[in-house]
Amino acid sequence: MIGEQDTRPWGTWQVLDEGDGFKVKRITVRPKARLSYQTHEHRAEHWAVVSGKATCVVDGRIQLAGPGDSVDVAVGQPHRITNMEDEDLVLIEVQLGRYTGEDDICRLEDDYGRVPA
């Protein structure tokens, strides 16, 4: 739903727009925090960095991205965003796929104890 937002251990996200087959989020990652290493069964993602520096891991490969840079993640590819800097990282995430629900996350590694045993 547009305007939906949540606070996670690593930062926040807010839905800016959504429609049939897509969702757009503004994601803020706190300094020295990172999202879980995860996959999605139903969606691909496109990350556009707005401010800060992102250290992205996609399928085991590290890619650095700053303002104006973007990173693509295919359906099923393991991925993670890390903010190694001392300032917030802000990015726009475009999710593309037949389903973009929050429960389409398979966590492979997590710093916050959210991986099932």
Q: What percent of the chain has pLDDT over 70?
A: 99
Q: Are 66 and 49 in contact (CB under 8 A)?
A: yes
In this structure, the strands spanning 70-73 and 11-19 are unpaired
Tell me the pLDDT of the chain averaged across its residues.
96
Tell me the C-alpha distance between 68 and 91, whole Å: 10
Q: Residue 116: pLDDT band by 50, 70, 90 thresholds?
A: confident
DSSP 74: -
Q: Tokens 């949540």 sit at which residue?
A: 6
Is the model's pLDDT at 117 over the cut of 80? no
Separation between Cα atoms, residue 72 and residue 74, nearest integer Å: 7
Q: What is the pLDDT of residues 47-102, one digit of tens each?
A: 999 999 999 999 999 999 999 999 999 999 999 999 999 999 999 999 999 999 99
Segment 112-117 mean pLDDT:
82
